[in-house]
Amino acid sequence: MPSPSPASVSSLDRLLRALSGTVLGQAHVVADLVTAFLARGHVLLEGVPGVAKTLTARSMASALGLGFTRVQFTPDLMPSDILGTHVFRPQEGAFQLMKGPIFTEVLVADEINRTPPKTQSALLEAMEERQVTLEGTAHALPPHFFVVATQNPLELEGTYPLPEAQLDRFLMRVRVGYPPPEAELDMVRAFHQRQGRAPQVERVLDTPALLELQDRAAAVACDDSILDYTVRLIRETRANPRVRLGASPRSAQALLAAAKARAALHGRDFVTPDEVKAVCPSVLNHRLLLKAEAEVEGLTADDVLRHTLERVQVPR
């Protein structure tokens, strides 16, 4: 297959620089976000309030030059508030579809775990099939429809755990922590210099370039040894005695897609074990269910995945 063109590599470099210049001290978050977009997946950003989750999503939309809609998820939000509904127009004597905010290119579902599961599930079809069905009629969404959801840790009050079916629609769950001290100082300095105004991110890509980058990521070559390594990682999660429900075969597909996108992000046209290892935590940490005794011991899915990566032999 052809190697990545210099133009595509430079476009990705510009995208990373644009995002890193706004989202300070969160290089891993930026890398995972761009990786998920290249893989045509969706992202769940998890972190406490005030760590720039929404800013990250907004900056991503601006840099990609895509339409952006933000929905604040609340306990009283209804599915129709997201999808839309048909409204009767007396002057026309007919019902007209009033499209909801989901009809966009980048949808930011802010604090998605503050709304009940029924409303959370309204996103399932859109995220999986990039379409919305209303009263039996399917309405297509853009081919690069991208959901960036944010959620606060479950120990905070007033939150609802996302159902497993909803979690599985996210290619990655990315932990957003506090930035290092020097980055936090840069944030405060930039805020002071902008006099409190929100940072602006210039568009660095157009729609044809976006689709080309996604196509190149999907076409990245993958040796059989990498495929075998991916499957062995997945199966090892099921064999772990601390795990009640391990990663599914669909998780293996997600892991491979993310690894191919990360390789494209690095300017390579083939996948190495390093790409698989780099994306493994964010791709699988929301797809494992631990046994109760493991949770009592304070273990997390990330701990299990670190152990898995240590146990499974890397192909040579």
Number of H helices, E strands in the chain: 14, 11
Q: Are strands 146-151 and 43-46 parallel, antiparallel or unpaired?
A: parallel
Report yes or no on 183 lying in a domain: yes
- What average pLDDT does the chain have? 89
Return d(Cα 20, Cα 17) in angstroms, integer.
5
Are 154 and 255 within one domain?
no
Are 284 and 254 within one domain?
yes
Are 118 and 146 within one domain?
yes
In this predicted model, which residue has the larger pLDDT, 289 or 50? Answer: 289
Are 184 and 225 within one domain?
no
44 contact partners, CB below 8 Å, separation of at least 6: 112, 149, 150, 151, 162, 167, 170, 172, 173, 174, 286
Report yes or no on 214 lying in a domain: no
Q: Please give the residue range of the domain that contains residue 295.
A: 220-316
Q: What is the CATH number of the domain that holds 106?
A: 3.40.50.300
Provide the strand spans (E) within 103-217.
106-110, 131-134, 137-140, 146-151, 172-175
Q: What is the CATH number of the domain that holds 246?
A: 1.10.8.80
Report yes or no on 46 lying in a domain: yes
8 Å CB contact between 53 and 179: no
Report yes or no on 213 lying in a domain: no
Are 174 and 95 within one domain?
yes
Residue with tokens 């599985």: 168
Residues in the chain, overall count: 316
Distances (CA, A) of 128 to 33, 125, 239: 18, 5, 28
Which of 166, 201, 236 is where one domain is finished? 201
pLDDT band at 152 (very low <50, low <70, confident <90, very high): confident
Q: What is the pLDDT of residue 285?
A: 95
For 205-214, how does the pLDDT look when each residue is reduced to its tens digit (9 = 90+)? 888 888 889 9
Residue type, 39: A
**pTM of the entire predicted model:** 0.89
Are 36 and 63 within one domain?
yes
Are 54 and 118 within one domain?
yes
Report yes or no on 137 lying in a domain: yes
| Torsion sign over Cα 289, 294, 296, 302 | negative
Are 162 and 280 within one domain?
no
Are 224 and 166 within one domain?
no
Q: And the tokens for 289? A: 């269910």
Which of 141, 167, 201 is where one domain is finished? 201
Number of domains, the chain? 2
Listed residue (82, 114, 45, 6) closest to 286, CA to CA:
45
> What pairs with residue 173 in β-bridges?
44
Report yes or no on 169 lying in a domain: yes
Residue with tokens 């690095």: 266
pLDDT band at 195 (very low <50, low <70, confident <90, very high): confident
Rounded percentage of the chain residues whose pLDDT exceeds 90: 55
Report yes or no on 121 lying in a domain: yes
Are 38 and 123 within one domain?
yes
6 contact partners, CB below 8 Å, separation of at least 6: none
For range 142-161, the mean pLDDT: 81
In this predicted model, which residue has the larger pLDDT, 33 or 116? Answer: 33
pLDDT tops 70 at residue 154 = no
pLDDT band at 1 (very low <50, low <70, confident <90, very high): very low
Q: What are phi and psi of 309, to 5 degrees?
A: -65, -30
Which of 173, 201, 229 is where one domain is finished? 201
Are 172 and 300 within one domain?
no
Are 231 and 85 within one domain?
no
pLDDT band at 57 (very low <50, low <70, confident <90, very high): confident
Q: What is the pLDDT of residue 3?
A: 55
For 88-132, how does the pLDDT look when each residue is reduced to its tens digit (9 = 90+)? 788 877 888 889 999 999 999 998 988 888 888 888 899 999 999
pLDDT band at 276 (very low <50, low <70, confident <90, very high): very high
65 contact partners, CB below 8 Å, separation of at least 6: 203, 204, 205, 206, 207
Report yes or no on 215 lying in a domain: no
pLDDT tops 80 at residue 6 = no
